[in-house]
Structure 1
Amino acid sequence: MATDTTTSSPAGALRDPAPERLGTRAKLVLFVLCAAQFMIALDFSILNVSLPVLGADLGMSRANLQWAVTAFALPSGGFLLLFGRIADLFGRRRLFLTGLAVFTAASLLATLAWDPAAFLAARAIQGLGAAVIVPTGMSLLTTTFPEGPQRERALGISGTLLSLGFTIGVVMGGTLTDAFGWRSTMALLAGAGVLVLAAAPGLLTESRHPRRPRIDVPGAVTVTGGLLAVIYALSTAAQRGFGRPDVVIALVLGVLLLGAFVAVESRAAEPMVSLPMLRRRTVAWGNLAGLTTFAMMSTVVFLLTLYLQEIRGLSAFRTGLVFGVQGVFAAVTGMTAARVIGRLGTRTTLLAGLLVQAALTAVLLFLGSGPAGTWLALTGASLACVGHLWVIVSYGITATSGLPDGEQGLATGLVTSSQQVGLTVGIPLLSALASSRTNLLSGIRLALAVDVAVLLVVAALVAVGLRRTGRPA
């Protein structure tokens, strides 16, 4: 593929005019980009139910099992903004393919891991690959499909697969582990990586910023260090509590570094993050909504996993069936979300999604220990996912609209950072609340009540924050 130094989209023919229907090549490009995003989302949750088996096989202590998740979450969340910016400058296609190769090789290493050190090293390298794939894949998507029906449809499919990946990961993790052992989960990711890597080079063309400004090194160091520290603190706190000295130190350090990042960016000649862009209402409030919907919905999945297995006594397979129904609702909603946005507008859909997610999560407050609780969990979680998908699609459109192609990598880096931070933040915070009660059911209800309250507060803030922006898409 030819490499140019313009801000041309990866499929320039899609640019002008922009028909509502996607052509064959555009569909193939979308399939490849969404498959990569789905693969990363799958990795985020596929090991959750496999950890006890994995630990016994590799000789990892129960106290160290959380590192199987944290080793991936740290680099995948911490380096997103940095790699999104690097891709803008040096080529999104090039970085995307590099990230795919790194992720695939690391997945193979994780499959063959012979001891805990090899496995955790592989997970960390997987996280680095994910930190490259996610922002570059999203920026290729938004620069390929112009604002309007095409981008709304593309983001709808991408958002659906992202949510499905997290949910299906829980289902597939248990199923594969029971049938073939935990290594099959990593082998699945390696195989998926090979397939995407084989298809991508022939479909994607290069795009980058029209010039190559200097990388803001102080900004890169402070934001990456800050994100790494915060993610470490929250991931560790999920397993061991917030009272540990390393958790407190990491949390304080993370906040200080992120504060320093803001100060650095306000003075940098060529900042890594444009503060004027962050002051755009669509960018700021869109990302807040996205972070919130991911944090709160992933928490619902986690809490219901505890409820169904610990209180209702369901097997991992039957628990997976519950989330399989939720996945069906997510798929159908994601496919139709663009039509909802076309009728209601992006802002209205965003707010409606937050409120629907809150209302159906509130239904789960009536969970009991009897058989009816299983059906209530299935119905509430599945319908809450409708609102969740509305938010995912509309916030992606909101936070990337009205920006030039040269800033799409940064904008999508923020979008994907919101997703990853949301997936990381919600579970440790609310699971700590759930475990604060001696009665597990009471603790789950408390955490769900806070979940609902957060959604309602953020919905109110977003409604006020976007009141003058009209219809961003």
Structure 2
Amino acid sequence: MSTTAQPSATAAGTGPERHEQGQQRARRPKLVLAVLLVAQFMLAVDFSILNVALPAIGDGLGFSLADLQWIATAFALSAAGFTLFFGRIGDLVGRKRIFIGSLALLGLSSLVGGLAVSPGVLLAARVAQGLATAAATPAGLSLLTTSFAEGPLRQRALGINGALMSAGFTTGAVLGGVLTDLLSWRWAFFVNVPVALAVVLVAPSVIKESRPAVRPRLDLPGALTVTLGLLGLVYGLTQAGEFGWTHPHALLGLGAGAVFLAAFFLVERKVSAPLVPLRTLRRPTVAWGNVAGLLAFVTETSLVYLLTLYLQKTLGFSPLEAGITFGVLGLGTVAGGLAAPRVIARTSTLTALVAGGLVQAVFTAALLLLGTTAGGSLALLLPATFFGGVGNMLVIVGFMVTATSGLPDAEQGLATGLAAMSQQVGITLGTPVMSAVVTASTAGAATASAVHHGVTVALAVNAALVLLGVVLAALFLRDRRAPGTSRQA
């Protein structure tokens, strides 16, 4: 009796335990997704939150007008230049460890930046923020892609991630204006501290460690040459945007960047364990997917810069009013990010890339009709930025899915590192490139009509770059349904 009763008692006892374990397993992906998305959103906010606050920071700490741009450039150089390097470091020491450590560094450097009393301390904090972003972005994307198998779940996660990332960039512009106007520019730094602290405390118990089964060796020559190449490229472009394409600093930076990147490809052909295996770069999904992503980030983030100029210099909006106007663009990117996984599931990643690019190009071109008075211009600008944001987010999610699909987990650190590099470099390049176009078109004039003309020319260039991405995707990417989506078509 007792021997027969024992199994039934055990089964009865384990039923609730199994149910609870099942609930925990169901909750874990949601918790992982929540932690990673909060961190990625904060990183996106951090990239743009200081743009509106720059004049106030200059007044508060005694930055000269010529040196003010270094507040943005110091962050951009380290964020874009070290992304690929830290993506590989995450493969070596563990992506979870790098992710948590970089968020801790971001929180600490934000606290130092908010408390800074001299330009040197603030610039050091910005460099540390950029390094933290360069480490956290690829690590977070790797954890996201390795936590969800290829197919609908990963696409949905990448869609939400893309929506929040782009919305975070827009939110940063709005939040920077609100905090600077109502409190102080220092709160543009302080706002990161509690969020980073919360992620650092929660992440260790929620996220599982992720690293390749076989630990790769670090390709130091490759890491050094690609980092120096990206630093030179980003520095040259920021100087070109500030002083023109013929300025010696711009030419020196661009030339040095080209030389180091050429050296990087030579190194990768010869070393036994390359930082970026050329066979991976030869994959059309990796190579052309990242080109499409780069152009998507170049065009949409620089559009914010162009419309900021237009709203403030032509229509006379305050920084706060201009920032609030971009809330419509933020809503468009959220809508696009939520719609993108469904579009991919019902069609293909290529369809999302091409259709999204065409929508973005059409509504960017519509902005060429903006006038010099607020009434009619806002009636065009608001819907155009909304639908342009929807199209841009279709491209970004399509790029993320394309560039990280069909690869083993051992290469996810590399794939997400390349995708994060495309993101960071694209965000960094967009503003100086469009600034250079505006500067050349206005010939140094700063009147409302001159700025309007310069912005219009730059908008035409912006729309042309979007169309270039569409053409490249259509020519070089196969029309393939993302893995796991055929059942839902």
Q: Which AA in structure 2 matches 1:291?
A: L
Residue 179 (structure 1) aligns with: 182
Tell me what 1:90 maps to.
Answer: 93
Partner of 1:441: 452
TM-aligned CA deviation for residue 325 of structure 1: 1.5
Q: Contact (CA 8 Å) 2:76, 2:428: kept in 1 or not?
A: yes
Q: How does 1:245-284 map to 2 (within 5 A)?
A: 245-284=248-287
Q: Which residue of 2 aligns with 1:384?
A: 388
**What one-letter code is carried by the residue in structure 2 that aligns with 1:400?**
T
Letter in 2 for 1:335: L
Where in structure 2 are the equivalents of 1:50-69 lying within 5 Å? 50-69=53-72
For 2:224 and 2:230, locate their aligned partners in 1 and report how far apart those are by CA, in whole Å. Answer: 10
Deviations along 1:62-121, whole A, 9 cap, x unmatched?
100111111111111111111111111221111111111111110100010010000000
Which of these residues, 323, 338, 342, is aligned with residue 341 of structure 2? 338
Which is further off, 370-379 or 200-209? 370-379
More deviation, 350-359/319-328: 319-328
1:470 pairs with 2:469 = no
Aligned equivalents of 1:28, 1:82: Cα separation in 2:
28
RMSD of Structure 2 on Structure 1 (CA): 1.3
1:6 is aligned to none
TM-score (norm 2): 0.91
Q: Tell me the CA shift for residue 237 of structure 1.
A: 2.2
Question: How many angstroms apart in 2 are the aligned matches of 1:193 and 1:278?
Answer: 34
Q: Distance in 2 between matches of 1:321 and 1:105?
A: 29
Match of 2:43 in 1: 40
- Assess if the C-alpha contact under 8 Å between 2:347 and 2:481 holds in 1: no
The secondary structure found in structure 2 opposite 1:269 is coil
Distance 1:471 1:225 in 2: 37
Determine the C-alpha separation between the residues in 2 that align with 1:124 and 1:282. 32
1:53–1:182 CA contact under 8 A, matched in 2? yes
Query: Tell me, which stretches of 5 or more residues in structure 1 are unaligned?
Result: 1-18
Q: Match of 2:206?
A: 203
The aligned residue for residue 123 of structure 1 is 126
Q: Secondary structure at the match of 2:441?
A: coil
Contact 1:106 1:126 in 2 (8 A): yes
Inter-partner Cα distance in structure 1 for 2:335 and 2:198: 25
Q: Which residue of 2 aligns with 1:407?
A: 411
The equivalent residue for 1:7 is none
Structure 2: state its 5+ residue gaps: 1-21, 443-449, 484-489
**Structure 2 counterpart of 1:359, one-letter code:** V
Structure 2 CA distance for aligned equivalents of residues 216 and 472 of structure 1: 32
- What SS is found at the alignment partner of 1:48? coil
Looking at structure 2, the residues matched to 102 and 321 of structure 1 have their Cα atoms a distance apart, in angstroms, of 30
Correspondence 1:22-421 to 2 at 5 A:
23-370=26-373, 371-421=375-425
Contact map agreement 2:332 2:385 (CA 8 A) in 1: no
Deviation per CA, 1:224-265, whole angstroms, max 9, x where unpaired? 010111111112222222222122111100011001101110
Using the TM superposition, name which of 181-190 and 236-245 deviates more.
Answer: 236-245
* Alpha-carbon displacement from aligned partner over 1:137-168 (angstroms, at most 9, x marks no partner): 00000000110010000000110111011111
Deviations, residues 177-229 of structure 1 (Å, cap 9, x unaligned): 00111000000012221121121111011121112232111100000010111
The Cα offsets for residues 413-453 of structure 1, whole Å up to 9 and x where unpaired, read as: 00011111111112111221112233111111111111111
Report which stretch shifted further, 332-341 or 134-143. 332-341
Task: Give deviations 1:299-351, integer Å, cap 9, x for gaps.
Answer: 11111111111111112222122111111122122122211111121111111
Of 401, 423, 427, 1:423 maps to 427
Whether the aligned pair in 2 keeps the contact of 1:107 and 1:186 (CA below 8 Å) is yes
What is the letter of the counterpart of residue 207 of structure 2?
L
Task: Give the fraction of aligned pairs with identical amino acids, expressed as a percent.
Answer: 49
The residue that corresponds to 1:15 in the other structure is none
Equivalent-residue separation in structure 2 for 1:217 and 1:43 (angstroms)? 30
Point out the structure with max Rg over C-alpha. Answer: 2
Q: State the distance in 2 between where 1:45 and 1:237 align.
A: 20
Residues 261-282 of structure 1, C-alpha deviation per residue, up to 9 Å, x if partnerless? 0111011100000111111011
Residue 3 of structure 1 corresponds to none
Alignment check: 8 A CA contact 2:239 2:247 kept:
no
Separation of aligned partners in 2, 1:67 and 1:194: 27
Deviation at 1:472, TM superposition (A): 4.2
- C-alpha separation in 1, matches of 2:354 and 2:377: 29
Give the superposition deviation at 1:356: 0.7
Counterpart residue number, 1:460: 471
The alignment of Structure 1 onto Structure 2 pairs a total of residues equal to: 452
AA matched with 2:209: E
